[in-house]
């Protein structure tokens, strides 16, 4: 199921952050970020990542973000966090891992190497991933905890999967990943040692 990006012209991304759209011909100006009490009300627009270089992790650490789906998308679209980001300003060389959910009650773990993406865990239904309600709303706190050898993936503090750390890029910048044509409320990622 593919549909074109629905532009949501805004004032650009929040100060102090950078963004990279999935496709070179897509403009981040077609996404709208509006400050909302320490969070951002986001309407997209193109699929993209949002990050600040200061949000970097290595060794044993965890990345957390809060995301509320505010409206049911036209068809299932995903959002979540990415981690282990390197060369993020270059589509041909960028690498990162990512952990996404969608309102259907499913999660996904993938890695990106340039233009290529590889599933580590394909879309999987899990009772710990809430489904959107009748109005299309859902709330998620996503967390990836990197232990010495294992990456643990949690939704609302409940484990949904654990994979060997060696399957993912884990050292580098972390941020948000938001697919296209969504309306979500997000908090910036937090990194804890």
Q: What are phi and psi of 158, to 5 degrees?
A: -115, 130
CA distance 100 to 27: 22
CA distance 181 to 7: 8
CA distance 63 to 144: 5
Q: Which residue bears the tokens 């959107």?
A: 132
pLDDT of amino acid 179: 95
CA distance 163 to 191: 20
- For residue 74 the two structure tokens come to 């036209």
pLDDT of amino acid 37: 85
∠103-106-111 over CA atoms, to 5°? 115
- For residue 184 the two structure tokens come to 């979500």
pLDDT of amino acid 1: 47
Q: Which pTM does this prediction carry?
A: 0.95
Spell out the per-residue pLDDT of the chain, length 193, in tens: 466 767 777 667 898 999 999 989 988 988 999 988 889 999 998 999 999 999 999 999 999 999 999 999 998 999 999 999 999 999 999 999 999 999 999 999 999 999 999 999 999 999 999 999 999 999 999 999 999 999 999 999 999 999 999 999 999 999 999 999 999 999 999 999 9
The closest of 150, 147, 179, 183 to 164, measured between CA atoms, is 150
pLDDT of amino acid 2: 61
Q: Which domains does the chain have, with CATH numbers?
A: 50-171 (2.60.120.560)
* Helices and strands per DSSP (H, E), number in the chain: 0, 15
């Amino acid at each position: 199921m593919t549909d074109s990006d629905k532009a949501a012209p805004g004032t650009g991304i929040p100060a102090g952050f950078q963004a990279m759209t999935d496709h070179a011909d897509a403009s981040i100006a077609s996404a709208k970020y509006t400050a909302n009490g320490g969070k951002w009300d986001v309407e997209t627009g193109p699929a993209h990542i949002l990050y600040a270089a200061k949000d970097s992790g290595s060794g044993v650490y965890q990345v957390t973000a809060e995301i509320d789906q505010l409206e049911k998308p036209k068809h299932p679209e995903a959002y979540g966090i990415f981690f282990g980001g390197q060369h993020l300003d270059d589509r041909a060389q960028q690498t990162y891992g990512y952990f996404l959910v969608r309102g259907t009650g499913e999660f996904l773990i993938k890695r990106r190497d340039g233009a290529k993406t590889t599933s580590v865990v394909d879309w999987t239904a899990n009772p710990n991933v809430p489904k959107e309600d009748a109005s299309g709303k859902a709330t998620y706190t996503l967390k990836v905890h990197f232990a010495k050898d294992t990456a643990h993936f949690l939704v609302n503090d409940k484990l949904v999967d654990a994979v060997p750390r060696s399957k993912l890029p884990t050292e580098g910048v972390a941020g948000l990943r938001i697919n296209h044509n969504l309306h979500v409320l997000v908090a910036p990622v937090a990194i804890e040692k």
